[in-house]
Amino acid sequence: MIAETRGIRIRHRGHEPQIHPTAYVAPTATLVGDVRVGARARVMYGAVLDAEGSRIEVGETVICENAVLRGSAVAGDQPVLVDDHVFVGPHATLLGCEVGRCVYVATTATVLQCAWLGAGAVVAVGALVHARTVVPDEYFVPPHTVALDAPVRLLAPGDPGLAEAVGRPCLRPRPHLSTAPAQVPPLFRPGSNAVCSLLVWAAVRSPVSSPISCGASRCGCRARR
């Protein structure tokens, strides 16, 4: 069977998805409206990228199976902006947020509207980054915890103050990657032996014991599994 490898593309509010010729979009991925998939990006099976009147921009990154990226224009412009070398895991959800370089968003993790993830940050399995939270560069959000506020603080499941903290309105202005610190974390500088987000994805698909790299044009990681 020969399948179309550019996904399900739906025109919405005058905009059609744009896919770079070197990107791969799986046949069952769905792109709606003003969605821009950059060079060498990978959007895998069942992923949904829905601009919802705003826009979605994905750099040289991997969007895994059944992940959801959704913008919004209901309460102001809330695009989803994902920089290069990002890994968005299966069933993860990004809603109207901005994600810096080399970020790892694990399986079932959720990032809410107007949040910002700094370069090299990790949002572990099942964690929630609350609306308008600023996660600093290289910061680790542990599994199943809630990150909120700026400066960021963490609450564990069952914390008695969780319901009040999440329900409190946040009046802090939305951060932007263009003005927030955006340096590339040291472990991803050329010559590093670190395993970056794209390398994790490549390792699952390469022959055992073969040397691998993420293949990203601006990433210096080199490692042997």
- Strand order through the sheet with 134-135: 18-19, 35-37, 56-58, 80-82, 98-99, 116-117, 134-135
Here the tokens at position 210 are: 């073969």
Cβ-contact 106, 122 below 8 angstroms = yes
Which residue has 């990107």 as its token pair?
23
Q: In angstroms, rounded to a whole number, what is the distance separating the alpha carbons of residues 81 and 94? A: 10
- Classify the C-alpha dihedral 63-68-73-77 as positive or negative: negative
Domains of the chain, CATH where assigned: 6-167 (2.160.10.10), 186-224 (no CATH)
| pLDDT at 168 (0 to 100) | 67
| pLDDT at 167 (0 to 100) | 72
Cβ-contact 63, 83 below 8 angstroms = no
Mean pLDDT, 10 residues at a time, over the chain (225 residues)? 71 92 96 96 97 94 97 88 98 97 98 96 97 95 94 90 72 49 34 42 37 43 36
162 φ/ψ angles, rounded to the nearest 5 degrees? -65, -50
Residue 224 CB coordination number (10 Å)? 10
What spatial distance separates the first Cα and last Cα of the chain, rounded to whole Å? 33
